[in-house]
Amino acid sequence: MLFAINEINWNSDILPNTSLGLEIYTLPHYERNILRNIFHWLTGLNTFIPNFSCRQQSKLAAALTGVSWETSENIARLLNLYKFPQLTFGPFNHVLTDRSQFPSLYQVAPNGASLFCAIVSLMLYFNWTWVGLLTTDDHSGVQFISDLTKELDKNKICMAFVRTVFLLGEEIYNVSHDFWVNILESSAKVIIIYTDITFIFFETENIYRKFTLGKVWITTSKLLGSKYSKYNMLSLSHGILTFSPHHGEILGFTKFIQEATPIKYPDDSFLHFVWSLSFNCPLSDCKILENCMPNASLELLPGKIFDMVISEESYNVYNAVYTIANSLHEMILNQCQIQPQANKNRNTYFPWQLHPFLKNIQVINSAGDHVVLDWKRKTDPEYDITNLWNLPTGLSVFVNVGRYSPSSPQGQRLSLSEYMIQWPIEFTEIPQSVCSESCTPGFRKIIQEGKLTCCFDCIPCQENEISNETDMNQCMKCPETHYANAEKRQCLKKTVTFLSYDDPLGMGLTIISMGFSALTALIIGVFVNYRDTAIVKANNRSLSYILLITLTHCFLCPLFFIGLPNTVTCILQENLLRLLFTIALSCVLAKSITVVMAFQITAPRRKTRWLLFLRAPNLVIPVCLLVQVIFTSIWLGTSPPFVEMDVQSEHGYIIILCNKGSGLAFHGTLAYLGVMAIASYIMAFLSRNLPDIFNEAKFLAFSMLVFCSVWVTFLPVYHSTTGKTTVVMEIFSILASSASILSLIFAPKCYVILFRSEKNTLHQIRNKGHHRSKILFKI
C-alpha cells in the first residue's frame, strides 16, 4: 500500500496537487470488537458516538479490508449504512457479489470461476481420481465444495472425504484428534485445501508428522511461512502444489523492499520489530538504535521469514489503491466540468459520490494487467502452479512449474513441467491417488455395491468383446467379421474358409466320391458285358442300368459341396441330389413292386400277369420323379438356397457355406425320400420268400433299412453341428446311403457273375425258381 501511494503521489498525471495518505488498523478476532474499532475509526473518538465525527483534518475516501472475507462482510454491513466505499483485497467470493446486501463493497481479486477447472485439470493430468477436501465451515467453503464437486463429478473424480473446520475471525479452532486421524489415515494421497494451510502444518507438526509426509497438498494460497516460523513446517509441506492467479511484475517493488529500513521509515514499528528480531538490534521505546546494522536489508532474511516476491494479496492491495486514486481523479475531473470555477471547492466531497466511478473504473497497472471492480466484467485469470522446493541449506522457495490458461483451446489449457516438481519425500515416483487400481485393457469396470464410482472391481470382457483402453465401463463387441484376441485387447480380422479341395478332409471326401463313382461305372460295365446272362436278365436289366447310372451321379454330388460355394452350386447341392435319390429309390421301389407282383401271379390269365409283362411297375419312376420336381419347384420359387457366411461356428474364421433357404422344404423333400424308402422296404419284405438263387428282395429290404438308418441318424447330427462339420456330415450321409444301395443290391450279383458263373445259368434258375422264377426271367 505504501509503495502504491508513493508512486501515485510522485505521478503528476494522477491527482495533481493532491496527496494520498493511509491509516492502518489492526482488527481483533471477535466480531463485536471489530465493529467497535470501526466506530472508533469513523468517529475519531475513543468513546464512539454513532453518526458523529470529530475528523476535521483528514478526508476518508475508501476502506481496504481483508484477508478474510468474513471480516470484510462484517465491516461491510456497517459501512453500507453510510454508503462508504469498501474494497476487499482477499480472495474473490461470490457471496460478496450480492449488490442487495453489499452495495458499497467491491472485490479487487479476479473472478475465481476457472480455479475449479484448473484444479481438476491437474487431477486428470496425473490420473488422480481419489482426493480429499478440507475447507472452512462457512459460506465460502460451502460454495467452494459445491462448485468443485460439480467439476469433479463431470470428470469422474471422486472425493474420499470432505472435512470442514470452523473459523472465528481469521483463526481456526476446535479441531479434534479424530478429525486429523480420519483425514491423514485416508487412502487418498491427494488433499485439496481451501483454508489456512499454515494452521494445518502447525497442528500436525509433532503428532501427525508421519502422515503428512505421505500426502500431496493442493492449495489455493501459498504457505505463510513467517506466521509460525519457529516450527520447521517446510519439511512437512515439501512437495505442495499451489494455484495462484498469474500477474505481471510490479516494476520497482523489489527495490522498494530492499531499501525499506527503520531509518528510512522511523514510524513503521513493524520494521523496528523485524530488525530487532532478525538482526539482534536492541529496542528502545519500540525503536532500534540508529547505528545498529546500517547495511542490513530485508533481502538478507530467509524466504520463509520474509518473501521479497509480491504476494497475491499485496498485488490486490496495489490494484485497489490505484483504482481508488483513478476513481478520485475521474470524480474531480467530473466536478470541474459540471461546477462553475467560482463556486467549486475541491476539498468538499462525500465518499458515497465515489461509487459511480468505482463501478465503471478500468485501470491498466504498471504490470500491464487490466483491473476492474465490477465482477460481471472480470475475466477468468490465468493460474500459476507453483511447487515448494526444500533446498539443502534448509531454505525453501516456490518454483513455478506450470500454468493454466482458461482462454486457450480445450486440451491446451494446462501446461506443466512435470520434471521440475519435487514430490513429498515419501514418494519415489509420481504419487498415485485412486480408490481402485486401473482396469487394464481386456477388462472392464464394475462398480462396487454401495460405493462411489471410483471404487470398482475389474472383470474380463466377455467372449468376442474387447477393451483397448484403461478403466473402460463397457467392453466393445467386435464386428462379425472380426474376433477378439486372447488378451481381449483388439479385434482381429477373421480368416475366410470353406471346405476346399486343398483341405485334407475335402481331399479325402473327393477321393472317396470319385472312387465310388468309378466303382459304380465298373459295375455298369460288368452288367453290360454280362447283359445276356441269366442273373442280369432276372434282376430287371433296364431298372438295374437306370439305378447304377443314378448312383454314379449320386456319388459325384458331394463334389458340389466341396470348393467355394456360389448360388448355382448351392441350388444344385440339394435339388439335384433330391432328384437323383428320387430316381434311385423309385428304381428300388419298382424292383420291389415287380417282385411282389410276381408273387401274386398264380393263374395264367390273371390281369397282374399282363401288367407285369407290360412293365407297369416302371411307371413308378416318372410318377415319383414328377412329385419331387413339384416339391423342388415350390422350394426354388419360395425360398431357394443361397450363399451364407457363418461367423459363429469357428473362432477366428468366417465359413462360407450354403444355407438351405427353407427349412420346411429341406426336411419335406427328405421326408418324401424316407416315405419312398419305407415303401420299398415294405414291398421287398413281402417278397422275402423268393428262391435262394434269386433272393434280391432281401437285399432290397436291407439296403432300404440301411438308407433310412443313415438319414435318420443324419438329422440330429446335422442339427447339432455347425460350420464345415455340417457339410461333411451331409456328404458322409450321401456317400453312405449311396454305398449301401450299391453294395447290398449289386455286390451279390457281381459276385455270382464273376466268381460263381455256374450259378448264373438259366437251368439253375428254372430248377430253383419254379414257375415264378420263369416269369421273372421272361420279364
Q: Which residue has the cell 455256374?
A: 758
Positive or negative: CA dihedral 70, 75, 78, 83: negative
Q: How far apart, in Å, are the Cα atoms of 18 and each of 10, 325, 332, 358, 398? A: 10, 10, 11, 19, 39
Same fold, 2-111+309-377 and 115-246+381-420: yes
Q: In what helix (H) or strand (E) does residue 733 lie, and over which residues does it extend?
A: helix 724-741
Q: In this structure, what DSSP letter does residue 475 have?
A: P
Q: Return d(Cα 150, Cα 155) in angstroms, integer.
A: 9
Q: How far apart, in Å, are the Cα atoms of 180 and each of 74, 187, 197? A: 30, 14, 14
Domain 2-111+309-377, classified CATH 3.40.50.2300, yes or no: yes
Instruction: For the chain, report the end-to-end CA distance as a whole number of angstroms.
Output: 135
pLDDT tens per residue across span 146-203: 989 999 999 989 999 888 877 655 555 556 666 677 777 788 889 898 866 656 655 5
Q: Contact, 373 vs 106, CB < 8 A?
A: yes
All structural domains of the chain with their residue ranges: 2-111+309-377, 115-246+381-420, 443-488, 504-778
Contacts of 134 (CB under 8 A, 6+ apart): 163, 164, 165, 183, 191, 192, 193, 194, 195, 200
Report helix angle 115-125 to 139-154, nearest 10: 40
Across the chain, what does the average pLDDT equal?
Answer: 80
Q: Which residue has the cell 475513543?
A: 46
Positive or negative: CA dihedral 355, 357, 360, 363: negative
pLDDT at 306: 74
Report H helices in 204-311. 209-212, 253-258, 269-278
**C-alpha torsion 305→311→313→316, nearest 10:** 150
pLDDT at 451: 82
pLDDT at 43: 75
Distance of CA 583 to the CA centre of its chain: 63
Q: In this structure, what DSSP letter does residue 450 have?
A: T
Sheet-wide strand order for 653-659:
495-497, 653-659, 642-646
Q: Return d(Cα 65, Cα 93) in angstroms, integer.
A: 13
Q: Contact, 134 vs 163, CB < 8 A?
A: yes
Which of 357-366, 464-473, 719-728 bottoms out in mean pLDDT, i.e. has the lowest?
719-728
Q: In this structure, what DSSP letter does residue 281 have?
A: P
Contacts of 540 (CB under 8 A, 6+ apart): 590, 591, 594, 779
Q: Which long-range contacts (CB under 8 A, 24 or more apart) does 359-367 make?
A: 361/323, 361/326, 361/327, 361/330, 363/319, 363/322, 363/323, 363/326, 365/248, 365/250, 365/318, 365/319, 365/322, 366/7, 366/250, 366/251, 367/247, 367/248, 367/249, 367/250, 367/251
Query: Residue range 686-693: average pLDDT?
Result: 58
pLDDT at 207: 55
Categorize the per-residue pLDDT at 476 as very low, low, confident or very high, splitting at 50, 70 and 90.
Answer: very high
Q: Which has the higher per-residue pLDDT, 657 or 772?
A: 657
Q: Return d(Cα 160, Cα 189) in angstroms, integer.
A: 10
Q: Contact, 552 vs 524, CB < 8 A?
A: yes
Q: Which three cell numbers stand for residue 749?
A: 450279383
Query: Residue range 52-77: average pLDDT?
Result: 79
pLDDT at 347: 56
Q: Return d(Cα 264, Cα 3) in angstroms, integer.
A: 13
Give the CATH fold of the 115-246+381-420 domain: Rossmann fold (3.40.50)
Residue 763 has pLDDT above 80, yes or no: no
pLDDT at 321: 94
Instruction: Enter the pTM of the model.
Output: 0.66
Which of 331-335, 455-459, 760-764 bottoms out in mean pLDDT, i.e. has the lowest?
760-764
Q: Return d(Cα 684, Cα 261) in angstroms, integer.
A: 132
Q: Which has the higher per-residue pLDDT, 756 or 28?
A: 756
pLDDT at 346: 52
Q: Return d(Cα 622, Cα 625) in angstroms, integer.
A: 5
Q: Spelled out in words, what is the top-level CATH class assigned to the domain 504-778?
A: mainly alpha
